[in-house]
């Protein structure tokens, strides 16, 4: 798989990213997790997506335990993790109400914890997980600079930011934010309409895409919309030579000119392989719009 340039200084991601949000539900031993990491590395998936809070703050450490069994793997990976969501189960500073915190002190503490969990001296990328209404962009910019100078974090980005929130933070930074990680799938197409993709394409910033398969909702077909989508995706899958609807969805996402990078949510290596094979699929303009129409339940205006 050809790697994707993410920053001028040479940072590259794999075109598909392995997500680890659901990792604790996979119930894998450190050895089984290590095998899974080796398998996706073998397929060319070198970028991994984490967050400090995943699995009630347990995912990073469990991943680190697996990495510790084969320490040389660390340098084959680009580790992305996130900070700013504080939840009552957080091990760093007790809180009663879940909230967002982009204060310098919290970001620094979260990074220190992530480094310990992963048994590493640097994070490749730190993302602000969700927009904090109390974000002071100057304070965040100073903390990013300090984390970069110390060598603890090499690059920065955001997640779930609106275009104006992105512009605000970017206006205070010397380095470009490397991504905005957002939800995009045939069930939730909000980023097509709220200016998010337009702004990222304008700045040539490649979004990381979460819940590409709508968390599995399209397979469950529990609503009229997901039933319509399932049927349309299955028909297009036939037209493409009998590929799975998950593969059609990845091809639909990858057709976006903003150059998105899908994050995979599965731990099933066969499904990971299917996603890799979807990289070579190309939808026509009309096929792309048939999925849009199935999502909306009406034609284009």
Q: Which residues of the chain form contacts with ligand NAP (CB under 6 A)?
A: 19-22, 49, 159-160, 181, 210-216, 219, 246, 263, 265-268, 271
Long-range CB pairs of 6-9, under 8 A, 24+ apart, other chains included: 6/155, 6/178, 6/179, 6/206, 7/155, 7/175, 7/176, 7/178, 8/176
How do 261-264 and 208-210 pair as beta strands?
Answer: parallel
Strand spans (E) along the chain: 4-5, 12-13, 17-19, 47-49, 78-83, 85-86, 99-100, 123-128, 153-159, 180-183, 208-210, 261-264
Q: Which is nearer to ligand NAP, 165 or 267 (CB)?
A: 267
Strand spans (E) along 38-164: 47-49, 78-83, 85-86, 99-100, 123-128, 153-159
**CA dist., res. 20 & res. 58, Å (int):** 11
CB of 112 to ligand NAP, least distance (A): 21
Q: Which is nearer to ligand NAP, 146 or 189 (CB)?
A: 189
Can you read off the two tokens belonging to residue 250? 């990845």
Which of 54, 100, 230, 289 is catalytic? The answer is 54
CB of 299 to ligand NAP, least distance (A): 26
Q: Reply yes or no on whether 289 is catalytic.
A: no
Q: Which is nearer to ligand NAP, 135 or 212 (CB)?
A: 212
Residue in the shown chain whose Cβ atom is closest to ligand NAP: 265
CB of 133 to ligand NAP, least distance (A): 16
Q: Which is nearer to ligand NAP, 147 or 264 (CB)?
A: 264
CB of 50 to ligand NAP, least distance (A): 7
Residues marked as catalytic: 54
């Amino acid at each position: 798989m050809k790697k994707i340039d993410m920053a001028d200084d040479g940072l590259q991601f794999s075109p598909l990213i392995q997500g680890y949000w659901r990792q604790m539900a996979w119930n894998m031993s450190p050895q089984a997790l290590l095998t899974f990491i080796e398998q996706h590395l073998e397929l060319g998936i070198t970028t991994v997506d984490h967050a400090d809070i995943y699995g009630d703050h347990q995912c990073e450490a469990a991943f680190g335990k697996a990495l510790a069994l084969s320490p040389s793997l660390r340098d084959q990976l680009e580790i992305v993790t996130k900070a700013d969501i504080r939840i009552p189960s957080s091990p760093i500073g007790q809180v009663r109400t879940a909230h967002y915190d982009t204060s310098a002190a919290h970001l620094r503490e979260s990074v220190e914890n992530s480094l310990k969990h992963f048994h590493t001296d640097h994070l490749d990328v730190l993302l602000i997980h969700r927009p904090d209404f109390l974000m002071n962009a100057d304070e965040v910019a100073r903390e990013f600079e300090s984390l970069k100078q110390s060598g603890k974090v090499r690059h920065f980005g955001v997640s779930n930011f609106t275009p104006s929130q992105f512009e605000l933070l970017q206006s205070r930074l010397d380095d470009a934010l490397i991504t905005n990680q957002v939800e995009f799938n045939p069930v939730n197409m909000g980023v097509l309409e709220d200016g998010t993709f337009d702004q990222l394409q304008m700045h040539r910033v490649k979004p990381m895409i979460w819940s590409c398969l709508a968390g599995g909702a399209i397979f469950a077909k529990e609503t009229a919309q997901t039933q319509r989508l399932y049927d349309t995706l299955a028909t297009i899958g036939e037209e493409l030579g009998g590929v799975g609807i998950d593969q059609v969805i990845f091809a639909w996402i990858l057709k976006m000119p903003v150059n998105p990078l899908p994050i995979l949510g599965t731990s099933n290596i066969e499904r990971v392989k299917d996603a890799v094979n979807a990289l070579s699929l190309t939808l026509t303009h009309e096929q792309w719009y048939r999925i849009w129409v199935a999502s909306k339940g009406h034609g284009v205006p």
